[in-house]
Amino acid sequence: MQTLIWNNLKTSEKMTALSRPAQKVGESIKQAVDAISENVARNGDGALFELAEKFDKVRLEKLTVSPEEIAAASGRISPELCQAIQQAKANIEAFHKAQQNQEIDIETQPGVRCQVLTRPIERVGLYIPGGSAPLFSTVLMLAIPAKIAGCKKIVLCSPPPIADEILYTANLCGVETIYTVGGAQAIFAMAQGTETVAKVDKIFGPGNAFVTEAKRQVMQAGTAIDMPAGPSEVLVIADEFAAPDFVASDLLSQAEHGADSQVILVTNSETLAKATALSIEKQLENLPRKETAEKALAHSRIFIAKSIEQAVEISNAYAPEHLVVQTQNARELLPFLDNAGSIFLGAYSPESMGDYASGTNHVLPTYGYTRTYSSLGLADFSKRMTVQELTPQGFQALAPTVMAMASAEQLEAHRLAVEVRLAKLKM
């Protein structure tokens, strides 16, 4: 990791130092995804069978996982892992149930009643990546709020063969339908619908560059998605009291996600920075995903700030997905932290806790989107409707205001809609 003294950098150098690894959705990826979209639209299920054999090297006989297959997969999960998943589920449920909306029903003035009603999104699709690290934890993060929100139809897609852990967790969370469909084709299948795969209103879940491009395309075509996303990232704010081994482990836990991940350390202590760099080298040697982490570290940074206050400013400028605060009084910084997907306060709150089981959601905006987007929550599986109801007295009292505003905007029909009712009341 490159170490930079923040105050020695020019403004342009600071911007460059805070930039992420370039996101490159190459023309070849876009062309490949375009072809997949056209194939799924034209051939439906036939395209899904064909692409599973091409990309996943699996010849499927059907797309839907049967209850018997789910039960068999669940029976292969160790009791220890079952218990761990159930504990995580309980915590995630508790946190997301606490987010349930209270109905708003007020009189803005006498006789003018306004309400906010919350309704679940009717049909949602969950995408869970497969591969060498099946993300069954993401099933918890997506399916639990979907169930709490009351979504009527919940479907899940994952590449074949689907890991036992994913099937067990999906069943535990009450997912009704699971399809052995992966990649960009799964996104298009859920967005468009096929003979087998149900069409949904909103798609959630992470994926590779092809999945990300597919989500971008279906969003432009009218299917909602959870959020825009880039490579994973973490920023750690640490002072001289932080444990270098703790800081190093937090940086490495994110670096092992992928070669395009980025990790940042901001500290007011050069001693801590040097000790952390040494600890990273030591811990790195024992990581199975060492090569991946090394690639991420190559475009990562250590910034030396003049103070913790300046470290907070740097963090807010970067707007990280994950923000770990390892300072002597971490909670005291909370009022000043404006841009982050999820914040981890104190030495014993590593990012791993939020990734799996503390209760918060690990689906977070990345690539600086935390300036405007929030971490995934119950509200993402719902929509709001406003209601207004006026009594004749309330209508009469508000009518002059509305007529004056409508006339000023030269919208005569708006004014007339009020005027005809006033005339009726005077009869």
Pairing of strands 177-179, 382-390: unpaired
- Does residue 185 have a known ligand-binding role? yes
Is 322 catalytic? The answer is yes
- Does residue 34 have a known ligand-binding role? no
Contact, 189 vs 331, CB < 8 A? no
Contact, 252 vs 283, CB < 8 A? yes
Sheet holding 153-157, edge to edge: 177-179, 153-157, 123-127, 202-204, 224-225
- Does residue 213 have a known ligand-binding role? no
Residues 6+ apart with CB under 8 A from 308: 237, 239, 268, 327, 333
- Does residue 362 have a known ligand-binding role? no
Spell 156-173 as b/e; 16+ CB within 10 A means b. bbbbbebbbbbbbbbbbb
CA distance 400 to 269: 65
Instruction: Specify the residue for token string 């971008």.
Output: 216
- Does residue 127 have a known ligand-binding role? yes
- Does residue 254 have a known ligand-binding role? yes
- Does residue 208 have a known ligand-binding role? yes
Is 299 catalytic? The answer is no
- Does residue 232 have a known ligand-binding role? yes
Residues 6+ apart with CB under 8 A from 60: 48, 49, 52, 53, 160, 180
Please tell me the number of Cα atoms within 13 Å of 280 on its side-chain side: 28
* Runs of H (alpha helix) within 193-269: 209-220, 244-255
- Does residue 257 have a known ligand-binding role? yes
- The residue annotated as part of the active site, out of 165, 213, 233, 322, is 322
- Does residue 99 have a known ligand-binding role? no
- The residue annotated as part of the active site, out of 165, 213, 321, 351, is 321
What are the binding residues? 127, 185, 208, 232, 254, 257, 322, 355, 409, 414
What are the binding residues for Zn(2+)? 254, 257, 355, 414
What are the binding residues for NAD(+)? 127, 185, 208
Query: Residues with catalytic annotation?
Result: 321-322
What are the binding residues for substrate? 232, 254, 257, 322, 355, 409, 414
